[in-house]
Structure 1
Amino acid sequence: MTYDDCSWHSDTTSELGLDGDAAATHIGMFYAWAVANNLHSPTMAIWGEPGERTRPELAALFNRTKTPGRYLLDHCCGELNLSDLNPRGQAFTAAAYPQYLRAYGYIPEIARHETIYHAPDTWDTYEAVAPLLDEAWAEWRHHTA
């Protein structure tokens, strides 16, 4: 199952005259937050190969050496998928991602841009987005405990 995919936003980014990579920012912010909160899958299956391998590339998010959108493009094919998350992360994402998408554009740091796609793929943007996800996480945990 795919929660979001940059290609789903390509018509919009193209109409806005933006590079398609601009569609990775909002998805990458969510995934970087999931990684920071241990909701990610630490291993991944390699198509056509038996078993799974660890994901040392996650260090780029932990160490902030790659921005969230860039990471998503480089290591997740521009998608947020079921396999990117552990079971708890999957449950949270299934419940919270639609609300995240609706609320994302109202975050002051995002809303000051022409569209959500104009928001920069930076760690400052992540810092503005993280409190929204922290709040959603706390609410979700309260209702699922």
Structure 2
Amino acid sequence: MTDVTVYDKAKWHFGGDYPADLDEDYAYTHTGYFFGWIVEHDLVDAEFLDDFNDDIARFRTRKISARDLFIITDGALVDDMMNDTGNAFAAHYFDMTNGQYLADYEALLCGGLPTTYHVEDTPENYATICDRITERFNEWNASR
């Protein structure tokens, strides 16, 4: 049996310090944005793409948001969802222990908000973080 790397699950965020006044959908936003970027840059595993092809098409045409797509795909970012390059980048940048993603997300989107969870799911917020992810990907890719 192969070990599976689970980078994040929205359900891990429920309870504890999750704000009682927020809908649980907000727990999907930060990872949903990263996953949306992965999808848009064709770093998704081919089998995963086949399983969610219609939903991914709806996302690519902006009928649903990245957060919505992440909710539909069960709200877990797992290594087997991504191709080799996507997974290697996620291991480097998204990893919650050593990665830079959450710090970038907080710096760009969380100013003045009570918590990281309070980021609104908007096209502008998604575009802002995607620009930074692209910068980080290009830096990472150039250093390999």
Taking structure 2 as the reference length, what is the TM-score of the superposition? 0.85
- Please provide the CA RMSD for this pair: 1.8
The answer for unaligned runs of 5 or more in structure 2 is: none
The share of aligned pairs that are identical, in percent, is: 27
Higher strand fraction (1 or 2): 1
Q: Map of 1:45-84 to 2, 5 A cutoff?
A: 53=51, 55-74=53-72, 76-84=73-81
The alpha carbon displacement at 1:142 in A equals 0.9
Count of residue pairs brought into register by the alignment: 135
Which of 2, 23, 41 is residue 37 of structure 1 equivalent to? 41
Q: Distance in 2 between matches of 1:66 and 1:40?
A: 18
- Aligned residue for 1:92? 89
1:20 is aligned to: 24
**Which residue in the other structure is 1:102 paired with?**
103
Structure 1 runs (4+) deviating above 4 angstroms are none
Q: For residues 87 and 65 of structure 1, do their structure 2 counterparts lie closer, same or farther at Cα, with a shift above 3 Å needed?
A: same
Structure 2 match to 1:138: 138
TM-score, normalization: structure 1? Answer: 0.84
Q: Deviations over 1:34-67 (max 9, x none)?
A: 111111123239xxxxxx7462321122111111
In 2, Cα distance between the equivalents of 1:42 and 1:134?
21
